[in-house]
Structure 1
Amino acid sequence: MGTTERGLGDYTRDHGPGSNGVGPGGDVTLFEVAGLSYTYSSGRAGLANVSLQAGPGERVVIMGPNGSGKSTLLRLVSTELPAPRGTLRLFESGWDSTSRRLASRRLRGRLGVVQDQAVHFEELTGMENGLFFAELYGVGEPEAEPRLAALFSNFGIEAVRDVEVGEYSYGMRKKLLLAEALVHDPELLILDEPTLGLDPPSQAAFLEILEDRSACGTCSLIATNEPGLARRVATNVVFLSKGEVVAQGAPEELLEGFGGKTTIEVSVTGHTADTIAVEGATVMAQQGRIVAESEMGTKILPDLAIAILATGLEILRIDVREPDLADLFTTLTGLHIADSSVRGEDG
């Protein structure tokens, strides 16, 4: 897949990382928010004094339950929403929200945006939609068509490129949206739940493309509540709760300071005993399975297995889940990352 993605090109970047020698790292800032706040029309606070920044090659992942302000932050950075309080700066010596100037088409052409809701022309084909949005970004058909064809192939929608989007499934629409966001080789990707609705091969293709673009200096701002995805792709994770940043840092650094409990689930056959005691663990016996939680990690496995076998049960399977970013978020806020009870006008 990586070969296909790199084959998109042999084209010159007009303003991307490759044109000015900017790669991952360095002192260049591609986006910065300082003291950014936003209030919804209902009066509810959407964001409160949020500050963060990122440069070439960095991937900032925003995590938080519905209503925490993730999508609002992305919409502000993409200039879809005005930034009434605080400062948003895009690109070095580029656009600044405090100037009250409207973001230009040229500036927005340096962004690649995937919103949580796909917007397409239903009566046009996938390729026609892609070419339309490429034109908006300043990429003409002779360049855009081969780039889109390669992206369609990566995401597994080449067979429906000439089918009207009105016949597309949700997953196909999401793949088309990703292709449209990538076709013009943006410097800053703003992605709201980019893997939601993608099948495993398309997820793998997306992750490889993201890594390739990051290596060339593309910066990414991503909203997701998938702890595995966040841990894999993020150079920096930001926890949002009720519009406020409660923690941020590299995934491994955040998890290193968080003990958490390892969960061990043992599938069994036979009559489940009422109680199974293992030192250093809390053990719950349920129908067909034994669930143990421990801060000692997998060190309790031998004693747990012996205790289960001693009751006459037969062990069929053992699954281990280590603490992840979702567990850490719950510890810090008391909220579950997938909790929808904090829902507001925006996520």
Structure 2
Amino acid sequence: MARALEVENVTKVYKSSGRGIEDANLRVERGEVFGLMGPNGSGKSTLLGVVSTRISPDKGSFRVCGLDGVRERRKVRAKLGLMVDRPTHYGDLTAWANAYLFASFYGMDEKKAGRALAELFEYFDLAEYRDDKAKTFSYGMGKKLALIEAIAHDPELLLLDEPSVGLDYTSQLAYQRKIRDLASSGTAIVLASNQVDEVEALCDRVAFLHRGRIVTTGTPDELISTLEGLQRVVARLRVPVEYDPVLEVEGVRQVVTEGKDLVIHCEERSGIVADVVAALVRAGGDIVTLSVRRPNLEDVYVKLTGEALRDEDQPAG
């Protein structure tokens, strides 16, 4: 049986911005949850756009369930489910009508679509709102509706771009259970997200994108294990200060800004956190909060690229 997704040297660069993806190579197996991580502009959405056949690559090829993604677009689309990061709906149609329209596009007959949609509306707590117009929905409700539209037809490959952003706690739990259920039934899932806890919990493998290129791929445990012996100190300061004194502390490997936080990667030696705090105070820093944690995928990304995974405008993972 063919892999769910094979991407070979795919390149798509936009002349207006110089951004996109270059020479991307991926393999995603059936039943696998595969994560794509990278800051804004790193190429995650472009890569999903190519795989979904919405965007034509400048060069390279890809196959979805054995089908040529460039030459057999219509057949490929029938295998896919897609949720973009900012979904839109027909505002004057009801939620049910929007979802049914998607189901019909995928060739579902009325009876089958009705059963699948009724189950999903109930699962995502939208049953009582099914006859409300989509334009009355909150952002989170719109995200849940988009999830329903993406999975109702049982796609073989599901593409998700920041699916959990905007979901409340209960909805996130429901979404994660559904992702695990889909994977266990054989659906391959490509999840573009910088929600670090979500990716570590759900994804079998992860690829880091940096400035349009895939810099590494591995399981979350494999990637995090490369930082063995290090710890992550996160300091939020009342106002920014120059942090050069922190870099002079013995055992400090790297300092990077993530939004309003300073993240210090340092060795696990006795007294090093106190030394870091002292250096911040010497620099004039007024520490509002301080935490010490084990390294995570954000830290691996920083180590590999020297850049933060998220900027101030991106939600925390």
For Structure 1 versus Structure 2, the TM-score category normalised by the shorter chain is 0.7 to 0.9
What is the deviation of 1:43? 5.9
Q: Superposition pairs for residues 199-238 of structure 1, below 5 Å? A: 199-238=168-207
**Equivalent residue letter for 1:58:** E
TM-score (norm 2): 0.80
| 8 A Cα contact 2:83 2:146, kept in partner | yes
Deviation of 1:107 (Å): 2.9
| Residues 66 and 340 in structure 1, CA contact (< 8 A), matched pair in contact too | no
| Post-superposition CA distance 1:235-254 (Å, at most 9, x none) | 11110011011111111001
Post-superposition CA distance 1:91-116 (Å, at most 9, x none): 12x2242xxx2511x43121010011
Q: Distance in 1 between matches of 2:214 and 2:34?
A: 13
Paired residues for 1:175-190 under 5 Å: 175-190=144-159
1:34 aligns with 2:8: yes
- Matched with 2:80 is 111
CA distance in 2, matches of 1:127, 1:161: 5
- Aligned match of 2:233: 263
Shift of 1:55: 1.2
**1: distance between equivalents of 2:264 and 2:17?**
45
1:303-322 equivalences in 2 (<5 Å): 320-322=292-294
Letter in 1 for 2:39: P
Whole-angstrom CA distance in 1 between matches of 2:27 and 2:153: 23
TM-score of the two chains, using structure 1 as the length reference: 0.73
Secondary structure of the residue that 1:330 maps to in structure 2? helix
Please give the alpha-carbon distance, in whole angstroms, between the structure 2 residues aligned to 1:264 and 1:37.
36
3-state SS, counterpart of residue 109 of structure 1? helix
What is the CA–CA distance in structure 2 between the aligned matches of 1:204 and 1:253, rounded to whole Å? 25
Change (3 A) 1:78 1:264: closer
How is 1:83-232 mapped onto 2 (pairs within 5 angstroms)? 83-92=57-66, 94-97=67-70, 101=71, 103-104=73-74, 106-232=75-201
Write out aligned runs for 1:39-78 (5 A): 39-42=13-16, 44-78=18-52
Give the aligned partner of residue 281 of structure 2.
Answer: none
Q: Distance in 2 between matches of 1:159 and 1:96?
A: 39
Check whether the contact 1:65–1:340 (CA below 8 A) recurs between aligned residues: no
Which whole-Å deviations, capped at 9, do the CAs of 1:43-74 have from their partners, x for residues lacking one?
Answer: 61411111011111111111001110000000
Q: Give the aligned partner of residue 23 of structure 1.
A: none
**Who is 2:299 aligned against?**
327
Using the alignment, how far apart are the partners of 2:181 and 2:271 within structure 1?
41
Distance 1:209 1:45 in 2: 33
Written as runs of structure 1 = structure 2, the 5 A alignment for 1:257-296 is: 257-259=226-228, 260-263=230-233, 294-296=266-268
Quick check: 1:120–1:129 contact (8 Å CA) kept in 2?
Answer: yes
What amino acid is the match of 1:328? V
In structure 1, distance between residues paired with 2:20 and 2:176: 30
Do the aligned partners of 1:112 and 1:189 also contact (CA within 8 Å) in 2? Answer: yes
**Structure 2 vs 1, CA of residues 37 and 152 (structure 1 numbering), >3 Å: closer, same or farther?**
same
SS of 1:173 mapped into structure 2: helix
Give the RMSD, CA atoms, in angstroms: 2.8
The amino acid across from 1:90 in the alignment is: V
Structure 1 unmatched runs, 5+: 1-26, 266-278, 283-290, 305-316, 342-347
What is the number of equivalent residue pairs in this alignment? 278
